[in-house]
């Protein structure tokens, strides 16, 4: 259950959360800098287990540090952990509510496998279990839709990776730089997001990344699903050149292509996209490129996340719907609870 402050009307609640993204990032930094982690972990692999708004941070983390982290980072979004998990694994439990049933199942398996465990949560059963076993736990503020709190969870993931020496880059300092960037670009981001939202409303977004920011593209898809109440899909280059590209053979004015671009896109992938764009333009209603601003991968990823969040909220406005409500998910959870 989400708790909405009495001074917010429900129709602007999500937009207020997006508006406060940089404040959330600053608070997340304050939490990370004051978090007490008692043990450094020397491990052979890292597994981030979490779903939805809690799990997407793991996807983005793995992408941000893949060129520097010496051990593999696997993101688990299921009830079950991979069989390789053992005492040489670091399992990061990421559950905003602390009560996500799939994550709790994975957490119990991590305990049984004697894995090294660190938790990120606002409370719930995860916090109770962590206290029982004396696991390092970073507590983040609760009470909001999990998808609106990616700043809290992602920054703590960066903190854990950096604390354990898996990267030499000062990731938290890059988050600080992101705050300044997003504050400076806030109005421009909102203007661009509003224009793009008008192109996407009553269409089917087809979201492509050029390999360097697939996590942000996945996040955008999820926000379109939850905030805008729309179906869409995403893919990434160059992989889509080996399968999905063949599907672009018929004109379909209901499709609108949106690409996420960064300065880290590989030159040959850029060339691939330039060739593919001719095809997308021919067979879709339109093609829109969103280019990230910032210097570091952290800045550019968070820039794309922020503009994607704004787009999803503006689409909800245009459709005159409540961006917050997720009644179908609530119904699913209630029905599953009856099976226990």
Catalytic residue ranges: 226, 242, 333
Query: How big is the chain, counted in residues?
Result: 340
In Å, how far are 119, 131, 132, 209 from 128, measured between CA atoms? Answer: 11, 5, 6, 39
With a CB cutoff of 8 Å and minimum separation 6, the contacts of 146 are: 52, 53, 54, 96, 97
Token reading at 66: 């893949």
């Amino acid at each position: 259950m989400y708790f909405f402050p009495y001074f917010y009307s429900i129709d602007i609640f999500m937009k207020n959360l997006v508006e406060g993204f940089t404040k959330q990032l600053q608070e997340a930094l304050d939490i990370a800098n004051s978090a007490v982690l008692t043990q450094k972990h020397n491990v052979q692999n890292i597994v981030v287990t979490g779903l939805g708004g809690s799990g997407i941070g793991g996807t983005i983390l793995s992408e941000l540090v893949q060129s520097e982290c010496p051990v593999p980072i696997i993101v688990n979004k299921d009830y079950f952990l991979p069989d390789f998990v053992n005492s040489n694994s670091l399992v990061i439990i990421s559950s905003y509510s602390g009560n996500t049933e799939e994550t709790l199942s994975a957490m119990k398996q991590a305990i049984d496998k004697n894995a090294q465990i660190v938790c990120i949560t606002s409370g719930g059963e995860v916090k109770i279990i962590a206290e029982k076993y004396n696991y390092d736990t970073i507590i983040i503020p609760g009470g909001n839709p999990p998808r609106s709190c990616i700043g809290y969870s992602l920054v703590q993931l960066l903190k854990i990776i950096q604390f354990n020496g898996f990267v030499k880059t000062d990731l938290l300092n890059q988050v600080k730089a992101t705050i300044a960037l997003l504050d400076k670009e806030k109005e421009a981001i909102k203007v661009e997001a509003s224009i793009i939202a008008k192109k996407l409303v009553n269409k089917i977004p087809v979201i492509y990344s050029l390999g360097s920011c697939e996590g942000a593209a996945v996040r955008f898809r999820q926000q379109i699903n939850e905030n805008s109440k729309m179906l869409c899909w995403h893919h990434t280059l160059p992989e889509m050149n080996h399968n999905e590209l063949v599907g672009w053979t018929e004109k379909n004015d209901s499709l609108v292509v949106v690409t996420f671009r960064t300065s880290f896109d590989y030159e040959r992938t850029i060339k691939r996209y330039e060739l593919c764009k001719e095809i997308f333009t021919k067979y879709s209603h339109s093609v829109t490129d969103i280019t990230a601003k910032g210097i570091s991968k952290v800045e550019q990823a968070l820039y794309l996340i922020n503009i994607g969040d704004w787009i999803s909220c503006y689409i909800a406005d245009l459709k005159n719907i409540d961006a917050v409500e997720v009644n179908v998910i609530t119904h699913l959870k209630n029905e599953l609870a009856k099976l226990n």
